[in-house]
Chains A and B, each alone.
Chain A
Amino acid sequence: MRHTLVALVEDKPGVLNRVASLFRRRAFNIESLTVGHTERPGVSRMTIVIDSDQTSAHRVTAHLYTLVNVIQVDDLAEKPAVNRDLALVKVRAEGDSRARLLRVVDETRAHIVDTSATTVTLEITGEPEHLDLVIGRLQPFGVVEMVRTGLVAMARGDVAMRPPNGGYSNHAAVPLD
């Protein structure tokens, strides 16, 4: 199952390395990892997507807490969340395929961000599944170059990630498997 772990970390040199190294050392495969600023100065936010069972997701969360620079970790697989991925796709667009491409762009809510005589560059934002779908429809035109940013995510509703004060939510209290 796919787990989206969100980690608030101190914005300091080497912290990305510490987190990435932990995943490597504990033999967890990272599907995507993004880092960015947050509403608080000095605090960065990492979104890490891994494919693992529940037990392993708990394990890696606990290991993340052993890192001194990691402030808080949340597993968004356990709650409703907004997930967003962004892709830039440069697609071949010559002759009459250009018109067909523009129809696909229209239908899929993609944005044209650049054009040339032979190509069109599109920006697609949305749930990762939406991106998969759109990219699938672009494939027949000929994808020249493509990049995805990796997932960013945020829980829905009025909850927000805040450093816990005091107690640790007991692992065994959370059902395993």
Chain B
Amino acid sequence: MPAFRHPFLPNAGEQQKAILAKLGITSVEALFKDIPSKFRFKGKMKIPEGLSEIEVRRHIEMLLEKNSTPYLSTSFLGGGVWPHMVPEVVHSVTSRTEFYTAYTPYQAEISQGMLQALFEYQSLIAELVDLPVVNASMYDWASALGEAALMTSRLTKRSTFLIPEFIAPNRKAVLATYTAPANVSIQRVPSNPVQGKLDLERLKEMMSSEIAGVYLENPAYLGYLEPDVDAIAEIVHDAGALLVVGVDPISLGIIRPPGDYDADVVIGEGQPLGNGVNFGGSLLGIFACKDDRRILRQMPGRLIGLTTTTEGERRGFVMTLQAREQHIRRERATSNICSNQALCAVAAAAYLCTLGPTGLRRLGEQIMQLRHYMERQMSKLDGVLAPRFQATHFKEFVFSLEDRKERRLSILALMKKISQEKIFGGIPLNLEFPKLGESALVCVTELHTKRDIDKYTASIQQALEVE
């Protein structure tokens, strides 16, 4: 039988013979003799025969084209992953084989490029959120929230964590998964039904010596801004708890950074910073904290530090404070995380360098203008309440169908209807938050134009009229 050959396997033919000869064996079978024969897999795995490159590509393209993709239409879907432009230069950076085919920079001397890029990521996010310590990434926003809750519990030795009433259900679900084994209980702080913001009176009542941390999001999951941040920080800190704030980093060119209102920990989803939507993965969990030794020692994840060569001549970068991590501290580590989302962090770094302070401000302004325009157009529609919350929003808002006797169309049916025109209209909220009625969360970004928005409102109007 001729030897099996494959383009990814260099040691075919002569070389394989030479290797076998060096080992003094005639067949590779000899190497596997330690596997008890009882367990040896006989036969052939039921997976496809190998295909050629063209076939692989064609097959996958064929499958992917079965998707109905916003690429050829207009998407107003956000809620945690959002459509934003990815500048081509960012893609050029992350396509460098030196970055993407490297492992974790364990050997600092030969991995300075990745280390510096990650240090720059940490530094850029530090400027954005206004906190000096940022780790080299978590898996996503949701797991960052789970880790943040655990961290507040370790730091305060308390075991209740407060979250806002309106939080993304998937984020809340991951939080519950992370906190259950540590017996940290999660409680919801009610929101003001009209403005969405946290109910401060209720928050005050709920604060006690049991509360480890309080979590708020700005902008909130439902798009509105949380204005009472200074008061919240005071309430939380007066009770000896920690304030954790979740952000959409792309808003921070114009929105006040949480470090400025005394947040102890800031988390968020870094995907908008130069990473595609990609069906919700891969994401970028942001994790930042104050420069406080107690907090720092409890931080999860990798940290890159700036240092010098041992001769002190040159600047250089290393992974540092590793005594917190699993490979040293094992079962007493602050987290089990090892591989993270490094390449997404490099994309974020390149993105922030591309936007710069003015680009990020202008982007924020522009997004707010487009969102405002959409809110306004939607509010003109008969039977539509837009925005649902009386508050300032950033790039997302909720609209509701007014509760009228003659209306039969549910929000789900409405979204389905306009999807026939290739409009992905928003995330229906009726299941997540029944008390919001027939509502949807809509997302507007710099990718949208007036035409897209007009088309959207026209489709909604039409769908409601023909009812």
Chains A and B come from one and the same complex: no
